[in-house]
Amino acid sequence: MNTAVTSKEDILKTSQELIRRQGWSAVNIRSVAAACGVSVGAIYNYFDSKSALASATVESVWREIFPRPEDKALFHDTQAYITWTYEQMERGCRQYPGFFTLHSLGFLQEEKAGGKRNMRQVWQQIIDGLYSVLMQDSRIRADAFTEQFTARRFSDVLFSLILSALLRQDYDPVPVLEIVRRTLY
């Protein structure tokens, strides 16, 4: 990890590696600069504060854990998409031990607005993915959604259940899959 870094992407990869090896608290301007083999000033060329570095790192970790699925079939099967999401959560917790709980609790504070905003953007992408799948899943009953119980609202409910499982580090999708099965099929 002592190679010279000249790009924002390399700095973020180094920050991710620090989280993997030493935990979230290892990410600060000095430690990242040392791990990159550059001066503190070099990091400030890309990030104007520790908060900006932390926010960008958080977003990069979330995007690594929840990339856009390459398997297009997932976008037509609600249960497969939920199972994929739980698999990604479990993989992410193995790669970044404690990241979800520590980062989520820390970034929900007001002074970490950038991290909170980035986290919510990634969360919204997951919710939008759930909604998209619900709209494309041909197995869903025609009368499953109503004016009051919309696919958009159900996407929010599903995400709340997924987020709760994530914070509990419960990677068993069966309870959520059962709710989907009983509610929609």
Least confident of 44-53, 135-144, 148-157: 44-53
51, two tokens = 């908060």
* pLDDT at residue 51 in the model: 84
- Note the helical H segments in 45-150: 50-65, 78-95, 99-107, 113-136
44 or 104, higher pLDDT: 44
Least confident of 65-74, 100-109, 130-139: 100-109
In tens, the pLDDT along 37-74 reads 999 999 999 999 988 898 888 888 888 988 877 777 77
Q: How far apart are CA 154 and CA 35, in angstroms?
A: 44
Q: How far apart are CA 96 and CA 18, in angstroms?
A: 10
**R_g of the chain, CA atoms, integer Å:** 19
* pLDDT at residue 103 in the model: 54
69 or 139, higher pLDDT: 139
What is the arithmetic mean of pLDDT over 7-35? 92
DSSP assignments along 53-76, one per residue: HHHHHHHHHHHHHSPPPS-GGGGG
* CA angle, 106 then 112 then 117, to 5°: 100
* pLDDT at residue 118 in the model: 67
* pLDDT at residue 110 in the model: 40
If DSSP codes are grouped into helix, strand and coil, which group holds residue 121?
helix
State which fold the 8-48 domain adopts. Arc Repressor Mutant, subunit A (1.10.10)
pTM of structure? 0.81
Domain spans, the chain: 8-48, 61-184
DSSP assignment letter at 96: S
